[in-house]
Structure 1
């Protein structure tokens, strides 16, 4: 039987100098783990395992690669598979330094099948020799190792994310990354971990950058004055203000050092770090555990460039747009009305010469309307303002009305709602006022 046609583990009988082994090892990071030490002890484990059965003739070691990455996407593992599966076999077996360094999930089963197809043995320290899945004990052991490896990944991830979430919310600690435009990094004292402190590691925090912080404050003032994001970006470019990638080129080598864009200004206006609170994980994609929600520090962690009240108000601003006849269409309640069905903000919609608001629950004209789609919500601004005034007037008879809200209309109603931290939640059953969720 030729080596290529074998369907089970190859024989362990020695021929000549024994079996030719290819060693494989891996380490997750190069920053927190010493490659030489990690590769050394894994290689020692492999050499001890194959002693008397052959020798290692080729070594492959992936440094800085997560175990969750499939073998064919790891540089050295992919090179190993390519070289040992060639027409002229260079090894008879693959030896692993430690199971959990090499595999997680179903990776072992995939590689074992591949090795069997190419007539290769797969040796593990945990099985004290070649793996044979026809052996019931080996199957049970490998199942346990796979579960344990996956559990270690999940537990380590959970612990790290939970710790970082706590450090951000309770301690307001800066956890790395590029400082936002308008800030620079300054020393914040020794690391709280004694071992890290002995190594000279220190904490950092954000502090206003005297060159760029005034521009951030100006951006918020312009937005609060009702200017559009596009006009703010245009004025910055006209004034020759360097955009973030130009102001800090060393940390933005992946970006073009061009001009201010609408997106750049919008990101600044939406960043709660400018209120002095530390944030972490704002773009979380997980659905459970500590990664499920962004972290916001419970108190100020660095100097603010904008007050929290102005920041919240800036999120509600919707700039006015001129109509085709040159007149400006104003939507006083823009950003203040939320859908009670899907929690979206209602879109401003000019209809029959008056401001109205609607929510199509994410549906657009490029999509085919589904039968189960909720009915579009629609309300006129003047009707809503009338109803708010009537309700507040009735409540005032019982001594609960806000006199200012009872008197004023439209834009002043909107201003009063923002000052009181309230939004309007509207659905088919009617509307109600709710506190703005600042979390």
Structure 2
């Protein structure tokens, strides 16, 4: 924000100018400021003079005025009895307002006797005027449509580039990879500016450790055990291997979440992915944005292999949702075919593998193994036998594949399906797009 004040010359209305620039990285501040101000000065010529300037930089139009530094300062100045301006003028509606923001800002200004002028209205806006009412509705809708159209075009283009072309679309390379030159940019204008594409290549220092992580996990080792051994061996974690791009990371050691993130990243199969974590574009000032996981249906996965794989797809699928085997005290082996695939229909947590009466089963002890207390109407625990679960699966899936326990469990994992059980019924559900056609509700009785 920059605020500039100069004395009014002659008679006329004293104006405070407001402008906005969204992206600091891709726009020139002075150019954006002065074309907006030029439009404003052209409209108020011989009617008044601009005495104060408020200009927001790096703020989305979707942010309300009280969350924009310069706009908030303008509103605060408007409330002051000793303000130096009589009216507010903006250079362009879409730069200042989004959706129905205009009505709220106008109400605050009118309450303190400040007019709001728009170039599109040719002067001060009067909502008592039916023409102005219709104009504000049109401009608000147009501002929202412009954002939605630009967002849709960009996201659709990036989705296609990742899925069809397998193009690397920026960001940090995954641990185990490094970026190398992939030739000139396919857009002739960008290529003329010297921009080039990049692609992923295995990093000779870190790629072997990614392969080791998948090998250990496939052998049944716990994620925590893998993280502990990496720290014991002194293997650099992602933030240590690339400290310049991870300055926000203060801990220089492996944690469970880091190892799990590698195991769950499909890029290690050689296929490019995009939109695994969607960005929230509207956020509070100073938050820097945020990212949250998206649904599997929203991912863009390349149709063909786009870079060298560090793990084959069969191994990658086999370790998804896998849980480490805990050896019993007597040293005998106990197999749980559906480990990690059964969730509680009451609390949503994964059921623990549990051996009782010389056979495998799965249980959830509500309120005993979590940070949340058990609701009063919940049973003390939920228990289901593995053989009962397998029997219900055979009813639905036997026509598609072999009915042995290993094949059934592998089929669930390869399709990202899981079982939700409430004690009386089991529901086959899935995060994969094709799972909806195969979902079934089966009885445990």
Contact 1:168 1:295 in 2 (8 A): yes
Structure 1 equivalent of residue 228 of structure 2: 234
Residue 373 (structure 2) pairs with residue 379 (structure 1): no
Worse overlay, 414-423 or 261-270: 414-423
Residue 372 (structure 2) pairs with residue 366 (structure 1): yes
What does residue range 133-172 of structure 1 map to in structure 2 within 5 Å? Answer: 133-172=127-166
1:215 to 199, 205, 209: 209
Structure 1 equivalent of residue 242 of structure 2: 248
What does residue range 101-116 of structure 1 map to in structure 2 within 5 Å? Answer: 101-116=95-110
Contact 1:21 1:58 in 2 (8 A): yes
| CA-CA distance at 1:421 after TM superposition | 7.2
Q: List per-residue Cα deviations over 1:130-175 (Å, max 9, x = no partner).
A: 1111111111111111111111111111111111111111111111
CA distance in 1 between counterparts of 2:189 and 2:199 reads 20
CA distance in 2 between counterparts of 1:266 and 1:364 reads 20
| Paired residue secondary structure (1:315) | coil
Structure 1 equivalent of residue 308 of structure 2: 303
Contact 1:281 1:291 in 2 (8 A): no
| CA-CA distance at 1:334 after TM superposition | 3.3
What does residue range 264-413 of structure 1 map to in structure 2 within 5 Å? Answer: 264-284=258-278, 293-322=298-327, 325=329, 330-335=334-339, 337=341, 347-353=351-357, 354-358=359-363, 366=372, 369=375, 378-382=383-387
| CA-CA distance at 1:360 after TM superposition | 9.2
Contact 2:351 2:363 in 1 (8 A): yes
State the structure with more CA Rg.
1
C-alpha RMSD of matched pairs (Å): 4.0
Structure 2 equivalent of residue 9 of structure 1: none
| CA-CA distance at 1:31 after TM superposition | 2.3
Residue 187 (structure 2) pairs with residue 190 (structure 1): no
CA distance in 1 between counterparts of 2:240 and 2:181 reads 24
For normalisation by structure 1, the TM-score amounts to 0.81
Contact 1:318 1:334 in 2 (8 A): no
Structure 2 equivalent of residue 3 of structure 1: none
Contact 1:179 1:206 in 2 (8 A): yes
Identify if the C-alpha distance between structure 1 residues 91 and 208 changes in structure 2 by more than 3 Å, giving closer, same or farther.
same
Identify if the C-alpha distance between structure 1 residues 110 and 330 changes in structure 2 by more than 3 Å, giving closer, same or farther.
farther
Contact 1:338 1:426 in 2 (8 A): yes
Worse overlay, 78-87 or 234-243: 78-87
Worse overlay, 289-298 or 302-311: 289-298
Unaligned 5+ runs, structure 1: 1-13
Q: List per-residue Cα deviations over 1:208-257 (Å, max 9, x = no partner).
A: 11111111111111101111001100000000011111110111011114
For normalisation by structure 2, the TM-score amounts to 0.80
Contact 2:321 2:341 in 1 (8 A): no
Q: List per-residue Cα deviations over 1:9-33 (Å, max 9, x = no partner).
A: xxxxx99521111111112112222
Give aligned pairs, total. Answer: 412
CA distance in 2 between counterparts of 1:61 and 1:122 reads 16
